[in-house]
Structure formats: structure tokens, C-alpha cells
Amino acid sequence: MHAIETHQLTKAFGALTAVHPLDIHVKKGEVFGLLGPNGAGKTTTISMLVTLLSPSGGTAKVNGFDVQTQPDLVRQSIGIVFQDESIDDELTAWENLDMHGRLYGMPWELRKKRIEEVLKLVGLQPRQDDVLKTYSGGMIRRLEIARGLMHHPNVLFLDEPTLGLDPQTRRHIWTYIRKLNRDEGVTVILTTHYMEEADFLCDRIAIMDQGKIVALDTPKKLKERDATLHVASGKIDELYQALSAMNPVRQNGKILIETSQPQRSLKRVLSIAEKRKLALTEIDVKKPTLEDIFVELTGHSIRDEKAGTSDRFKAYNRAMTGRRK
């Protein structure tokens, strides 16, 4: 059984189709990323999987439970960290986690044990009795991740987990996410518009644009595109003619050559330049990044996203509270 299974999952808002028929299968224990710009359909997809939005069509199962017919069982088996801070800064870390454990009906002894475990996991034990208004943004994010793990979820959903954090703090959060995936064995589904984040964290990435998945594979395989040789010379016209058999392209005073065998092509360029006595002022091999692949597949770069999920977290808490009434 997969951790996540969707078949032709669709969401429309009136005439606007936010998510086109979506088929994905996420393995248990996998870190799976949805990469794309604002409006790509990432958060709408997550919202359907965590039962905050009802699909317009198709089906989805989380941990084997149907999101439409078994929403309570889905919620019991997942953890969620939304984009916006959604934690009480007047309480301590311990008090916030204790409140979350109570929401999930965890008995005191289990709550106490689990609070200690998750605080240790995210490195916040020394600050467990400090109120959150004294925490940095990165510390609050780590606490939110700890809270999402309190009830031993099988799947943890992270919606833009490092949005708005500085690069150093972002990398620290990546380390904690990888650690919890390894130590807790939890399946992680994350949305992001940070290329480096997706590349570092994810076992597989689904690139989304305009509500569709345009590519899905491991970061390594997604980047297995042709490399590009960048060559320059004081005699650029002569060099261009000499390399004509390699289908060169002139761009910004350089010659670009796409190749699936960069080392072989590099040797060929050097050999031709030496025979023609053409001194090279630059030669470089550039392999494609995820950003390059995204632009190639979608025709545009990723734009910055804005946070806006606090209302969805409140809705989720209302759903969880209502389930226990």
C-alpha cells in the first residue's frame, strides 16, 4: 500500500480548474515534493489530501483511507505544518505541544513522553519552558514541525516549510526534516518553490505548473539533460566556423554547444582550437539545474509565493475538535 494514491484527482473553482486530473503514488517513507510557483496547484492539492477541500472529481487515498468517505481516519493519521505561523506565542513550547496532544486525545503519560521525544528531535529541549515570543522564526518553525509529529503520524505534510527564513536557518530546517524522515520513518510530502530545497530534500519531485504535473522523477534524473559548453575566443567568428559541425549557437559574445557527452565534446573543441591555432579565452561546462529544467518545461521561472494559510489551519483545528464532540 502506498502512503498517498490519487487517481484523476481534480479541483475546480467555478470555471477555473485549479488542479487538472492528477495521478500520483507516494511510497511509504519517501520524501516527496511538489515544486512550482504560486498558483501552480500545489497547496490546493495538499488541501484535498488533508481533507480541507473536497475534490471536484477523481479519488485520493492517504494511508489507505479515502479522503472523501473516511476524512476522520485520514486526519488521525497525518500531521500538518502550514505556511503561516499558527502557534500561540503567549505559551511555552511545552504548553503548545501539550495542547496539541490534548486535541488528539492523547493521555497524559503518552503526551509527556512524546513531548520530550519531539523536542529532542528538533533540538528545542533547552528552550522548552520559554514563551514563544522569545523564539526566532527558525525555532518556531522547528516547533511547528515537532507539533505535527506529536501523535505519531504516518504522513507529515509541510506546506512551504522554510518560507521567509534566511538561507542558514533554511538549511537547518532541511537537516531536521531529513532527520525526522530517517528517525521517525514518517513519509513527508512538501510543497516548495525553492529549487535548492527540493533538490536537497526530495527523493522524488513532481514539477507543477498551472494545475498540472509537467514532470515527475528523482532530482538526479530530472537533471539528466544535455550539458552546455560555453566557449569564448578573441577570434570568435573563426571559432564559430571551425565548430560548425557541432551545431554551435552564438550568444552574448560566446559560443554555446549542447551535448549529451560533455567530456568528449570538450576534448573535441580543444583539439579543433589547437589545430586552427585559435586561443580560447573561456571554456566551461554547465550542467542543467532544476531551475533550468523548470524553465525548459514551463517557459517561465518560479515567482515568489506569499503565505496565506492561517485560515486553513483554523479550519483544520475546527474539524479535529468537531470530530471529538
Query: What mean pLDDT is reported for the chain?
Result: 87
d(CA 95, CA 115) in angstroms, rounded, equals 10
What SS3 state is found at 218?
A: coil
pTM of the model: 0.77
d(CA 309, CA 47) in angstroms, rounded, equals 10
For position 52, what pLDDT does the model report?
93
Q: Which of 2-6, 82-86, 113-117, 269-273 bottoms out in mean pLDDT, i.e. has the lowest?
A: 82-86
Over 90: is that where the pLDDT of 36 sits? no
Over 50: is that where the pLDDT of 308 sits? no
Average pLDDT over residues 193-204: 92
Over 60: is that where the pLDDT of 303 sits? no
Q: Identify the residue with better confidence: 323 or 172.
A: 172
Contact in structure between 184 and 14 (CB atoms under 8 Å): no
The vertex-153 CA angle with 197 and 218, nearest 5°, equals 35
CATH for 4-222+301-323, options being 3.40.50.300, 3.50.50.60, 2.30.40.10, 3.30.70.1150: 3.40.50.300
Q: What contacts 235, CB < 8 A, 6 or more positions away?
A: 278, 279
Structural domain spans, the chain: 4-222+301-323, 227-287
Average pLDDT over residues 264-283: 92
Percent of the chain's residues with pLDDT above 70: 92
CA distances from 206 to 106, 168, 277, 296 (A): 35, 25, 47, 15
For position 6, what pLDDT does the model report?
97
Q: Judge whether 4-222+301-323 and 227-287 match in fold.
A: no
Buried b (16+ CB within 10 A) or exposed e, 279-314: ebeebeeeebebebbbeeebeeebeebeeebeebbe
What SS3 state is found at 24?
A: coil
pLDDT digits (tens, 9 = 90+) for 43-80: 999 999 999 999 999 999 999 999 999 999 999 999 99
302 — pLDDT class (breaks 50, 70, 90): low
Average pLDDT over residues 106-117: 94
Domain 227-287 annotated CATH 3.30.70: yes
Work out the burial of residue 252: count CB atoms within 10 Å of its CB; fewer than 13 is exposed, 13-18 middle, 19 or more buried: exposed
pLDDT digits (tens, 9 = 90+) for 167-186: 888 888 898 889 889 888 89
Q: Identify the residue with better confidence: 325 or 293.
A: 293
